[in-house]
């Protein structure tokens, strides 16, 4: 197997095998959308590289052109060509059918995880000082009300977490509460899943509306405890002294 | 004379007397009666007129049935903005080209600058036309908003009109005086070019104040009209948008001129034309890339200011429903970077014969780095996944690749892509030349070490950024990454220039040999940048959600909702398509004169023979392709 086209095919197959089968041995499987994206980038790389000069362009496109026109395609190659011409439309048909056939699976969703908060929550600051007592109280409240889902280690792996989809947020992940201001957390805890705005559809959150059970003071202290326990800092515009 | 007047006076007097005798005499009582009658008849009419005025004053919105007022304004505003970007960006590098020509005494730079300006003059009137259409549409369709904005910004409207007048006069003088102001008058012509750019800058920043005020208003209730306008102008996002647009205009102008050159190259009938437009395409691409390198930094600053101004707006853009636009943005910027580099690399392969083998490996390395970076940039924070896939991942965040979704990763790869693109240019600069300076080896070793260190430092800061508070990352780490990349650019450019000054040319650069796909890649770059501006224009505008003026004046029209992203994407594509058609038409008109000036075939000298082995660009590229 020589030549740019063969190398490209090998590269694409190798990449697919790596993303689909080898990577999941070490971590969670990748969704099809991401595999498709990375394969598209790999193909684009090969096309860019092999069309850089006239020589490599001919080597890359030559076999495709010969295959399509049938030039020099005799014997097994000729039969394979006809087979591909027959099978390819069938493959496209099968793909179309599987995409359009009714299914009980919900469609892939692009959920907005962090919708914009309502105006009344914008710019709120935690009114309680970050004292060891307040942090301690916040952690205690967290243990009582939040840890069953969000976990004692603030990693989203509480005993009740397995029952939810999507799972509870992992606060130790730098992509969650570390990206947000305290006022944002105050809004999410206070209003819960039912308080999500329109843009957050399909509103998949089992977060309770804690304002009916917890006073604001407790919520602010829980926020303090969460950040401290998860080893993260809230997003601010001023540096802490 | 007097006698004549007296005579005519006597005659007139007689006529008046006759007329008086025919007019019935009117009694005061009947005059009063008539007055009352007419008052009674006309009173409702006056009341109706007053109603009409009041009604007209109270109209808040008008609509265009079938099309929708918002859609019409969307298209017209985007066309105006893109045209304005081109018109304000081109004079910058046209003027720089003219200076280079004047300093180096190379006529081709002056010719190129004149060609750029020709495109500018033909686009200028269309820009003004769309500006006028936009203004009428806004006044007619959004009277309440326009009354409010006029009330605040009226002093700057006057300034804008004066600037427009000055810009037009200067442009006329600059363009029509080009040939007349050669020789000793060249310095005055250059001064006109300078003035043109100064007026263009202010023409851009004054309306920017109106647009940015809508996003981040500063409303002062007291003071004179000028005080209020001044306070509203200096709103938090004004300067970030000014800088971002200034750079983006250069990028847009550069790539569009590149596309123009690309098309002219594809249509070239003679080797001379091919050489000229190949070179012009290279300059256009270079200008586009030159502007593109600092553009992400300006964009980052703008987003930072928006986020700091209002958390809600920042989240809507970067984490909310508009966040997906930034994945599209990553894709478009990625394609733009790849397209620009692809053109550079093809330039090395085709214009410098024999260099293909030498630069194959470095090009492959750069391509891999660019693609890996693009892969990271395009990986969303929340992945598109089916229910089953999300279950397996434990949510829409992938435990390993989810880290690519946050700003620390995006900033790192953006910096690395800029670094690679800069090195691509340096490589192109050095190709076909042999350094002769005694210290060349040391200089190259230092540059190599510096490049590796810079790359490592950018990555280390990016990874470290995950473990520090957001404010430390934003204020120090991201800034440090930018400064490192800028440091590399600032040190490498003069060092390479000095090295090249004493270098000997081993392989002469051959123009007019690029394959047809080079012309297409120039066109593709222009389309990408137009699409990118349409995309981000929509993002900036829709981040105000249901507000005309954020937090001050609510949109109460029937269009006070954000359209679905697919609908918006269709409009962005439509805007890009319409703008490409417009530009094609303008350039076609602009070059009509050239065709007319061509010497008739019978009077033409013997056509220059195409060198042996050279194939016309349209026929399929360079000799090597045929070989």
B511-542: per-residue pLDDT in tens?
999 999 999 999 999 999 999 999 999 999 99
**Residue B280 burial (CB count, 10 A):** 24
- Domain of residue A21: give its range: 3-100
Backbone torsions φ then ψ of B549, nearest 5 degrees = -120, 115
- How confident is the model at residue B612, as a pLDDT? 47
With an 8 Å Cβ cutoff, are B398 and A31 in contact?
Answer: yes
Please check the confidence at residue B42 and state whether its pLDDT lies above 70.
no
Question: Tell me, what CATH number does A216's domain have?
Answer: 1.10.760.10
- How confident is the model at residue A239, as a pLDDT? 64
Let me know whether A90 and A153 are in one domain. Answer: no
Let me know whether A74 and A177 are in one domain. Answer: no
For residue B547, give the H/E element and its range: strand B547-549
With an 8 Å Cβ cutoff, are B469 and A45 in contact?
Answer: no
Closest C-alpha to B219, from B201, B233, B199: B233
**Residue A174 burial (CB count, 10 A):** 22
In a domain, B591, yes or no: yes
Backbone torsions φ then ψ of B505, nearest 5 degrees = -80, 120
> Which residue has better confidence, B272 or A199?
B272
With an 8 Å Cβ cutoff, are A29 and B393 in contact?
Answer: yes
Tell me which range, B10-14, B17-21, B27-31, B578-582, is most confidently predicted by mean pLDDT.
B578-582
- How confident is the model at residue B252, as a pLDDT? 93
For residue A34, give the H/E element and its range: helix A32-50
How far apart are the CA of B311 and the nearest CA of chain A, in angstroms?
A: 6
- How confident is the model at residue B509, as a pLDDT? 85
Residue numbers in B near A54 (CB within 8 A): 515, 621-622, 624-627
Closest by Cβ to B396, choosing from A44, A52, A111: A111
In a domain, A241, yes or no: no
Let me know whether A21 and A88 are in one domain. Answer: yes
- Quick: pLDDT tens for B57-82: 678 999 999 999 999 999 999 999 99
In a domain, B588, yes or no: yes
**Residue A95 burial (CB count, 10 A):** 10
Q: What letter does residue B404 receive in the DSSP assignment?
A: G
Cα–Cα–Cα angle for B530, B410, A115, nearest 5°? 85
* Window A:100-139, CB contacts with B under 8 Å: 105-119, 122-123
**Residue B475 burial (CB count, 10 A):** 14
Please check the confidence at residue B140 and state whether its pLDDT lies above 60.
yes
Residue numbers in B near A167 (CB within 8 A): 394-395
SS3 B568: helix
- How confident is the model at residue B49, as a pLDDT? 60
* Window A:44-103, CB contacts with B under 8 Å: 44-45, 48-49, 51-55, 57-58
For B400, the closest chain A residue by CA position comes to A27
The 3-state secondary structure of B466-506 reads HHCCHHHHHHHHHHHHHHHHHHHHHHHHHHHHHHHHCCEEC
Let me know whether A94 and A125 are in one domain. Answer: no
> Which residue has better confidence, A205 or A14?
A14
Let me know whether A74 and A144 are in one domain. Answer: no
For B401, the closest chain A residue by CA position comes to A30
Let me know whether A80 and A130 are in one domain. Answer: no
> Which residue has better confidence, B306 or B10?
B306
- Quick: pLDDT tens for B406-447: 889 999 999 999 999 999 999 988 888 888 888 888 999 999
Cα separation, B71 vs A59, whole angstroms: 48
How far apart are the CA of A33 and the nearest CA of chain B, in angstroms?
A: 6
- How confident is the model at residue B622, as a pLDDT? 35
**Residue B434 burial (CB count, 10 A):** 11
With an 8 Å Cβ cutoff, are A113 and B363 in contact?
Answer: no
Average pLDDT over residues B489-516: 90
In a domain, B623, yes or no: no
Average pLDDT over residues A132-139: 96
- Domain of residue B125: give its range: 69-357+532-597
Cα separation, B295 vs B433, whole angstroms: 30
How many domains does chain A fold into? Answer: 2
SS3 A109: strand
- Quick: pLDDT tens for A54-83: 888 888 988 888 888 888 888 888 898 999
B475 at interface of A, judged by CB pairs closer than 8 A:
yes
Let me know whether A90 and A130 are in one domain. Answer: no
- How confident is the model at residue B46, as a pLDDT? 57
- How confident is the model at residue B390, as a pLDDT? 82
As given in the structure block, the two tokens for residue B34 are: 């008539």
As given in the structure block, the two tokens for residue B506 are: 């081993």
What is the percent of chain B where pLDDT is above 70? 85
With an 8 Å Cβ cutoff, are A175 and B405 in contact?
Answer: yes
Q: How confident is the model at residue B333 (pLDDT cuts 50, 70, 90)?
A: very high
* Window B:368-397, CB contacts with A under 8 Å: 368, 371, 374-375, 378-379, 381-397
Average pLDDT, chain A: 90
How many domains does chain B fold into? Answer: 1
Residue numbers in B near A49 (CB within 8 A): 363-364, 367
Closest C-alpha to B591, from B357, B299, B261, B271: B261
Cα separation, A172 vs A176, whole angstroms: 8
As given in the structure block, the two tokens for residue A63 are: 């076999």
Please check the confidence at residue B50 and state whether its pLDDT lies above 70.
no
- How confident is the model at residue A167, as a pLDDT? 85
- How confident is the model at residue B608, as a pLDDT? 43
Q: How confident is the model at residue B607 (pLDDT cuts 50, 70, 90)?
A: very low
In a domain, B323, yes or no: yes
Cα separation, B127 vs B541, whole angstroms: 20
Average pLDDT over residues B612-621: 38
- Quick: pLDDT tens for B104-114: 888 889 998 99
Average pLDDT over residues A205-219: 94
Residue numbers in A near B338 (CB within 8 A): 44, 48
Let me know whether A159 and A217 are in one domain. Answer: yes
- How confident is the model at residue B589, as a pLDDT? 86
With an 8 Å Cβ cutoff, are B385 and A175 in contact?
Answer: no
For B319, the closest chain A residue by CA position comes to A114
Backbone torsions φ then ψ of B166, nearest 5 degrees = -65, -40
In a domain, B516, yes or no: no
- How confident is the model at residue B339, as a pLDDT? 93
In a domain, B546, yes or no: yes
In a domain, B452, yes or no: no
- How confident is the model at residue B324, as a pLDDT? 86
Average pLDDT, chain B: 85
B19 at interface of A, judged by CB pairs closer than 8 A:
no
In a domain, A111, yes or no: no
B564 at interface of A, judged by CB pairs closer than 8 A:
no
Please check the confidence at residue B125 and state whether its pLDDT lies above 70.
yes
Cα separation, B392 vs A3, whole angstroms: 39
Backbone torsions φ then ψ of B504, nearest 5 degrees = -100, 145
Q: Tell me what percent of chain A is helix, strand and coil, each rounded to the nearest 5.
A: 60, 0, 40
In a domain, A235, yes or no: no
Q: What letter does residue B385 receive in the DSSP assignment?
A: B
Please write down the long-range contacts of B187-195, taking CB distance under 8 Å and 24 or more positions apart.
B189/B98, B190/B95, B190/B98, B190/B99, B190/B102, B193/B91, B193/B94, B193/B95, B193/B98, B194/B95, B195/B166, B195/B170
What is the percent of chain B where pLDDT is above 90? 58
For A162, the closest chain B residue by CA position comes to B394
SS3 B548: strand
- How confident is the model at residue A10, as a pLDDT? 95
**Residue B96 burial (CB count, 10 A):** 17
In a domain, B250, yes or no: yes
Closest by Cβ to B624, choosing from A53, A199, A236: A53
Strand B433-434 and strand B504-505: pairing? antiparallel
Closest by Cβ to B388, choosing from A105, A109, A233: A105
Instruction: Output the DSSP codes for B250-294.
Output: HHHHHHHHHHHHHHHHHH--SHHHHHHHHHHHHHHHHHHHHHHTT
B315 at interface of A, judged by CB pairs closer than 8 A:
yes
Closest C-alpha to B574, from B525, B534, B543: B534
Let me know whether A79 and A38 are in one domain. Answer: yes
As given in the structure block, the two tokens for residue B626 are: 């045929």
In a domain, A109, yes or no: no
- How confident is the model at residue A166, as a pLDDT? 80
Let me know whether A17 and A90 are in one domain. Answer: yes
B625 at interface of A, judged by CB pairs closer than 8 A:
yes
- Quick: pLDDT tens for A156-176: 999 999 888 788 999 998 888
- Quick: pLDDT tens for B200-228: 999 999 999 999 999 999 988 888 889 99
């Amino acid at each position: 197997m020589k030549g740019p086209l063969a190398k490209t095919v090998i590269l694409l197959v190798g990449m697919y095998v790596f993303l689909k089968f080898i990577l999941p041995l070490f971590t969670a499987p990748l969704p099809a959308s991401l595999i498709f994206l990375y394969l598209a980038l790999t193909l684009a790389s090969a096309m860019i590289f092999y069309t850089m000069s006239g020589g490599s362009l001919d080597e890359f496109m030559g076999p495709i052109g010969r295959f399509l026109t049938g030039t020099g395609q005799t014997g097994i190659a000729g039969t394979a060509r006809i087979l591909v011409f027959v099978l390819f439309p069938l493959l496209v048909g099968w793909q179309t059918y599987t995409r359009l056939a009714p299914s009980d699976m919900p469609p892939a969703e692009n959920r907005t995880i962090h919708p914009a908060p309502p105006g009344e929550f914008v710019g709120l600051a935690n009114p309680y000082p970050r004292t060891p007592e307040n942090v301690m109280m916040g952690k205690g409240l967290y243990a009582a009300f939040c840890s069953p889902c969000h976990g004692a280690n603030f990693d989203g792996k509480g005993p009740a977490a397995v029952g939810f989809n999507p799972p509870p947020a992992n606060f130790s992940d730098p992509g969650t509460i570390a990206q947000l201001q305290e006022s944002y957390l105050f809004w999410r805890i206070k209003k819960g899943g039912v308080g999500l705005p329109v843009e957050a559809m399909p509103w998949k959150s089992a977060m309770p509306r804690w304002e009916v059970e917890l006073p604001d003071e407790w919520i602010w202290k829980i926020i303090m405890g969460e950040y401290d326990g998860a080893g993260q800092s809230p997003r601010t515009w001023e540096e802490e002294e | 004379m007097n006698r004549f007047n007296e005579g005519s006076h006597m005659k007139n007097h007689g006529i008046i007397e006759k007329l008086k005798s025919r007019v019935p005499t009117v009694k005061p009582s009947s005059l009063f009666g008539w007055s009352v009658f007419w008052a009674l008849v006309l009173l409702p009419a006056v009341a109706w007129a007053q109603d009409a005025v009041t009604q007209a004053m109270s109209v808040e919105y008008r609509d265009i049935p079938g099309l929708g007022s918002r859609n019409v304004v969307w298209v017209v505003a985007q066309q105006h903005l893109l045209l304005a970007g081109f018109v304000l960006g081109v004079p910058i590098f046209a003027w720089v080209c003219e200076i280079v020509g004047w300093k180096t005494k190379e006529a081709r730079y002056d010719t190129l600058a004149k060609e750029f300006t020709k495109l500018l003059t033909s686009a200028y009137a269309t820009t003004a036309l769309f500006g006028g259409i936009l203004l009428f549409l806004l006044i007619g369709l959004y009277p309440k908003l326009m009354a409010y904005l006029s009330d605040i910004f009226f002093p700057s409207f006057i300034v804008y009109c004066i600037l427009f007048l000055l810009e037009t006069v200067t442009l006329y003088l600059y363009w029509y005086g080009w040939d007349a102001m050669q020789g000793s008058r060249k310095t005055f012509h250059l001064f006109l070019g300078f003035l043109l750019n100064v007026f263009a800058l202010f023409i851009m920043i004054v309306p920017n104040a109106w647009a940015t005020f809508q996003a981040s208003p500063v409303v002062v209730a007291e003071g004179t009209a000028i005080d209020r306008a001044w306070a509203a102008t200096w709103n938090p996002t004004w300067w970030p948008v000014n800088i971002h647009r200034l750079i983006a205009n250069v990028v847009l102008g550069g790539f569009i001129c590149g596309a123009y050159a690309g098309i002219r190259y594809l249509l070239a009938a003679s080797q001379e034309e091919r050489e000229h437009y190949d070179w012009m395409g290279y300059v256009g691409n270079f200008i586009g890339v030159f502007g593109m390198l600092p553009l992400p930094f300006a964009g980052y600053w703008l987003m930072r200011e928006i986020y700091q101004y209002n958390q809600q707006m920042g989240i809507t853009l970067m984490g909310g429903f508009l966040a997906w636009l930034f994945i599209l943005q990553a894709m478009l910027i990625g394609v733009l970077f790849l397209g620009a580099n692809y053109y550079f690399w093809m330039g090395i392969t085709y214009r410098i014969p024999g260099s293909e083998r030498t630069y194959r490996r470095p090009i492959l390395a750069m391509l891999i780095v660019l693609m890996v970076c693009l892969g990271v940039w395009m990986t969303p924070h929340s992945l598109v996944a089916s229910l089953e896939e999300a279950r397996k991942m434990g949510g829409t965040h992938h435990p390993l690749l989810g880290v690519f979704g946050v700003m620390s990763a995006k900033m790192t790869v953006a910096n690395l892509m800029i670094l690679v693109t800069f090195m691509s240019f340096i490589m192109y600069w050095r190709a076909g030349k042999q350094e002769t300076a005694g210290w060349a080896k040391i200089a190259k070793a230092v540059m190599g070490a510096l490049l590796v260190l810079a790359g490592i430092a950018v990555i280390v800061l990016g990874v470290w950024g995950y473990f520090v508070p957001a404010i430390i990352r934003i204020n120090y780490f991201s800034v440090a990454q930018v400064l490192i990349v800028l440091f590399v650019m600032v040190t490498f450019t003069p060092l390479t220039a000095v090295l090249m000054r004493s270098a000997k040319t081993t392989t002469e650069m051959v123009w007019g040999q690029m394959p047809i796909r080079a012309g297409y890649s120039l066109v593709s770059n222009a389309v990408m940048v137009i699409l990118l501006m349409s995309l981000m224009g929509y993002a900036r505008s829709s981040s105000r959600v249901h507000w005309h003026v954020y937090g001050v004046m609510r949109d109460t029209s029937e269009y006070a909702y954000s359209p679905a992203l697919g609908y918006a994407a269709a409009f962005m594509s439509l805007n890009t398509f319409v703008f490409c058609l417009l530009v094609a038409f303008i350039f076609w008109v602009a070059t009509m004169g050239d065709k007319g000036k061509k010497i008739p075939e019978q009077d033409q000298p013997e056509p220059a023979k195409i060198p042996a082995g050279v194939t016309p660009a349209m026929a399929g590229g360079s000799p090597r392709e045929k070989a």
